[in-house]
Structure 1
Amino acid sequence: MGCTMIYNHSEKTIKTDRLILRLFRESDAKKISILCNNYHLYKNTLYLPYPYSIDDALGWIKNHLSNYNDDRMYEFAVTDKETGELYGAIGLSHNKNAHNGEIGYWIGEEYWGNGYATEAAKGMVEFAFTKKKFHKVYARYFTTNTASGRVLEKIGMKQEGILREHVMKDKKYIDLVYYGIINHEV
């Protein structure tokens, strides 16, 4: 996949070439609220509220550690390896029965175009396959968010289908595009 991933179980981190994916801390809440209180980010995500407050961030962070410890969901801050600056988030769900999971991510608008989503997604998929032994990883995005589609293609995922007018966002129906990759395809 073209990315070096180092997983540290005791620190609960994934290191890639330029990034450290780590659990969120309460001290990240202010930066999260600044990054997420952005209409351009909101319109491309399924679940982010808008406007987005510090309380929204704290409520979101509160279950991350228990989700991680219970192997339900791995939700990481996407941070700069050198400076620790928070760029965004990436998550991976874990369906234990099917041995698969969905990745989702967002990067603050001021950091778009630097390849952070692609690098974080590569690291997360490698973590899913090599450390968690998933059979498949999948993702979905709005047809209006072509940048997210390019990220998924760059990490080797293949389009599996389009669910037409599947979700409502801002009182409009939007198509969802599904992508996936199977462990043996990597």
Structure 2
Amino acid sequence: MLPPSLSCVTTTIFIKAHLRYPIPTHWIVRYPAFSITDSFEKEKHYEFAICDRATGTLYGAIALSYDHRYDHGEMAYWIGEAYWGKGYATEASQAILHFAFHVKRFHKVYGRHFASNPASGKVLQKIGMIQEGVLMDHVKKEGQYESLIYYGIVKREEE
């Protein structure tokens, strides 16, 4: 059962809890033993499908990790290429922020993106995140070093 804050995100999309299929092939290869349901119930990691409310068409997914020691977590998302630029990542990110701050009572949420994907950075900016730093040539993707740009947002007391 979805928490109330995620059960009806908007009139355009909804987010399904416990995403199992389909997910990107590279994710399956990297995390073959990952149990989404187990992580959800243990409040370590939350994974949701981003779908069309009317048709159920899968647009992508969004996830939120939870580090209980620091009351923060990392948000990550992917959107199918056919659905880029339509606001689905922004809409789902706003919903996951609400979930993090108002349902799970996080103090902070952060996200990161490849420097080669500025559109993902614009999503983080649109939801109020502020750039916190850049890790130069931090990871290797498809044989090339990539810098990671980090963003974060802290829950304000009046929220």
Superposed pair shares fold, TM > 0.5: yes
Amino acid at match of 2:82: E
Kept in 2, the 8 Å contact 1:14–1:123? The answer is no
Cα-Cα RMSD = 2.5
Amino acid at match of 1:139: G
- Decide whether aligned partners of structure 1 residues 97 and 147 sit closer, same or farther in structure 2, where only a CA change above 3 A counts: same
User: How many equivalent pairs are there?
Assistant: 157
Q: Which residue of 2 aligns with 1:100?
A: 72
Aligned partners of 1:72, 1:58: CA distance in 2, in Å?
Answer: 15
Match of 2:14 among 17, 20, 23: 20
After the TM superposition, which residues 1-186 of structure 1 pair with which residues of structure 2 at under 5 Å, given as runs? Answer: 8-9=2-3, 13-17=6-10, 18-24=12-18, 26=20, 28-29=21-22, 32=23, 36=24, 48=26, 56=29, 59=32, 63-184=35-156
Aligned partners of 1:125, 1:134: CA distance in 2, in Å?
Answer: 9
Bigger helix share = 1
- Decide whether aligned partners of structure 1 residues 23 and 57 sit closer, same or farther in structure 2, where only a CA change above 3 A counts: farther
Amino acid at match of 2:45: M
Consecutive unaligned residues of structure 1, counting only runs of 5 or more, are 1-6, 38-47, 50-54
CA deviation after TM superposition for structure 1 residue 24, in Å = 4.2
Consecutive unaligned residues of structure 2, counting only runs of 5 or more, are none
CA deviation after TM superposition for structure 1 residue 56, in Å = 4.6
Aligned partners of 1:14, 1:182: CA distance in 2, in Å?
Answer: 24
Identity over aligned residues, as a percent? 42
Q: Which residue of 2 aligns with 1:43?
A: none
Deviations 1:53-106 (A, max 9, x none): xx659947x611111000000001111111111110000000000000000000
Aligned partners of 1:125, 1:173: CA distance in 2, in Å?
Answer: 30
